[in-house]
Copies of this chain bind each other. A is one copy, B any other.
């Protein structure tokens, strides 16, 4: 674990007529690939007939021409990319989940994590429910289905289900005839929709996926909102809006999302440039060049450079052919692995005092290796700056900051971290400035629990957490894990 991982990206297509919705979903998921590289899936709905494919691997590898042909055309589609923290296998928990129930079929794609899934699951099991997977998403499927038995419509079932499920969820739900987008009342994770020139509606975790399919951004789905696409109509169910304050995960802006996305009205790129500028004000240093660690340290490095007046430089080349990584027999150390992905442009570094900006520091090992590379390339000084504050607390809302023991900042002082990393100085973004990234006052509108421990919801007790760990494991067909 050298990077914190997001668990998911969701995508939905709602067309007026039968068309190549699978292709649209493919491009959308391809643009959301950074949100999850472990497995992916697309479900196509052709007048109530659901055809789907899910597997471990990258969008590019899983959706071969033969698979795309199998998926065929339809008027709706739901897609998902996933990085799974629970369980080992790629395929078993791959989404979207497709279920059959008494009133028809439903497909569900989910980004986030429930905080009461253990309780809900136990309750369901005591009623005789069986679970095929270990994911929250199956729990949500059950809750919606149970509500559907009593509710007059699928959207009302989703609405009722939202009274029972707690935590973080951005959902796309597809029934035989409707498409529904729903976001939890805190709005932990992003969700938006757009429309193409042909009038096809597209729901996505991030706006970059709208761009990828040439759809114009319409608006973000609001925290607590349910948006129903039904015939020619787009309706909102607002029962859960305002139930809670908004708590968008601040790490979406710092690292998870793509710089070309706008989330809840804020450009991710600008948020990062702002973070870099804040860093320059908080932790100034005399230096000759500012470099960013690719890919997500680049934006903040530009911000640092602009604010400080120190020239921005290209410090690294990242090998762009990294795919399914192969661990060759003779590979000695993990240091080699960093070198294979990242090489220093010594021209930029030699004899210089370097400010190296990265998006965050998790365990510190990767930072240490990069600092070492810079010194070997002739850097006179290396000043490390992190555009995220120190990670100190576990996250329960859909990212994998789940154990404190791997977090360098939990057990070490700043001086110790600096020494472990081998830097001449170190500086983290100040917690108090996080609001500036989103243009809000300190503590307003975002969740920074992993940094400050202020959880906007109740959190699960520790005992529940690992109940299903390792209990199930299905073999993916993509034998080598994708990176």
Question: Given the complex of chains A and B, what is the CA–CA distance between A68 and B313 in angstroms?
Answer: 38
Interface size class of chain A, counting residues whose CB lies under 8 Å from the partner chain? 35 or more
Question: Given the complex of chains A and B, what is the CA–CA distance between A48 and B30 in angstroms?
Answer: 37
Question: Given the complex of chains A and B, what is the CA–CA distance between A234 and B330 in angstroms?
Answer: 25
Question: Given the complex of chains A and B, what is the CA–CA distance between A132 and B312 in angstroms?
Answer: 52
Query: In the assembled complex, how far is the CB of residue A200 from the closest CB belonging to chain B, in whole angstroms?
Result: 11
Question: Given the complex of chains A and B, what is the CA–CA distance between A342 and B102 in angstroms?
Answer: 45
List residues of chain B with CB within 8 A of the CB of A33. Answer: 319, 321
The contact string, 1 if C-beta is below 8 Å from chain B, for chain A 241-274, is 0000000000000000011101000010110000
- Whether, in the assembled complex, A164 has its beta carbon less than 8 Å from a beta carbon of chain B, the answer is no
Evaluate whether A260 and B323 lie within 8 angstroms (CB atoms) in the complex, with A100-B134, A131-B101, A330-B24 already known.
Answer: no
Question: Given the complex of chains A and B, what is the CA–CA distance between A472 and B44 in angstroms?
Answer: 10
- Whether, in the assembled complex, A152 has its beta carbon less than 8 Å from a beta carbon of chain B, the answer is no
Query: In the assembled complex, how far is the CB of residue A79 from the closest CB belonging to chain B, in whole angstroms?
Result: 13
Within 8 A of B (CB), among A88-112: 97-102, 105
* Docked-complex contact A60 and B211, CB < 8 angstroms: no
This chain: copies in complex: 4
- Whether, in the assembled complex, A314 has its beta carbon less than 8 Å from a beta carbon of chain B, the answer is yes
Question: Given the complex of chains A and B, what is the CA–CA distance between A22 and B270 in angstroms?
Answer: 45
Query: Taking CB as reference atom, which chain B residue is nearest A350?
Result: B267
List residues of chain B with CB within 8 A of the CB of A472. Answer: 50-52, 98, 100, 105
- Whether, in the assembled complex, A304 has its beta carbon less than 8 Å from a beta carbon of chain B, the answer is no
* Docked-complex contact A132 and B98, CB < 8 angstroms: yes
Query: In the assembled complex, how far is the CB of residue A339 from the closest CB belonging to chain B, in whole angstroms?
Result: 6
* Docked-complex contact B142 and A323, CB < 8 angstroms: no
Question: Given the complex of chains A and B, what is the CA–CA distance between A211 and B58 in angstroms?
Answer: 29
- Whether, in the assembled complex, A163 has its beta carbon less than 8 Å from a beta carbon of chain B, the answer is no
Within 8 A of B (CB), among A29-74: 30-31, 33-34, 37, 48-55, 58-61, 63-71
* Docked-complex contact A146 and B128, CB < 8 angstroms: yes
Evaluate whether A132 and B323 lie within 8 angstroms (CB atoms) in the complex, with A50-B471, A258-B317 already known.
Answer: no
The contact string, 1 if C-beta is below 8 Å from chain B, for chain A 294-332, is 010011001000100001111011011111111111110
Query: In the assembled complex, how far is the CB of residue A277 from the closest CB belonging to chain B, in whole angstroms?
Result: 13
Within 8 A of B (CB), among A147-200: 149
Query: In the assembled complex, how far is the CB of residue A185 from the closest CB belonging to chain B, in whole angstroms?
Result: 24
Evaluate whether A71 and B475 lie within 8 angstroms (CB atoms) in the complex, with A212-B343, A299-B314, A324-B60 already known.
Answer: yes
Q: Which of A119-127, A380-388, A451-459 contacts B (4 or more CB under 8 A)?
A: A119-127
List residues of chain B with CB within 8 A of the CB of A30. Answer: 319, 321, 340
- Whether, in the assembled complex, A347 has its beta carbon less than 8 Å from a beta carbon of chain B, the answer is yes
Contact of A339 among B211, B262, B312 (CB under 8 A): B211
Question: Given the complex of chains A and B, what is the CA–CA distance between A478 and B51 in angstroms?
Answer: 16
* Docked-complex contact A269 and B348, CB < 8 angstroms: yes
- Whether, in the assembled complex, A19 has its beta carbon less than 8 Å from a beta carbon of chain B, the answer is yes
* Docked-complex contact B211 and A343, CB < 8 angstroms: yes
Within 8 A of B (CB), among A342-396: 343-348
- Whether, in the assembled complex, A229 has its beta carbon less than 8 Å from a beta carbon of chain B, the answer is no
Evaluate whether A126 and B149 lie within 8 angstroms (CB atoms) in the complex, with A50-B472, A71-B475 already known.
Answer: yes
Known: A20-B330, A130-B142. 17 other contacts (CB 8 A): A22-B330, A23-B329, A23-B330, A34-B320, A50-B471, A53-B474, A54-B474, A65-B327, A100-B125, A101-B125, A102-B126, A105-B471, A127-B149, A129-B145, A211-B339, A211-B344, A302-B312
Identify the 4 closest CB pairs spanning chains A and B, nearest first: A20-B330, A23-B330, A102-B125, A53-B475
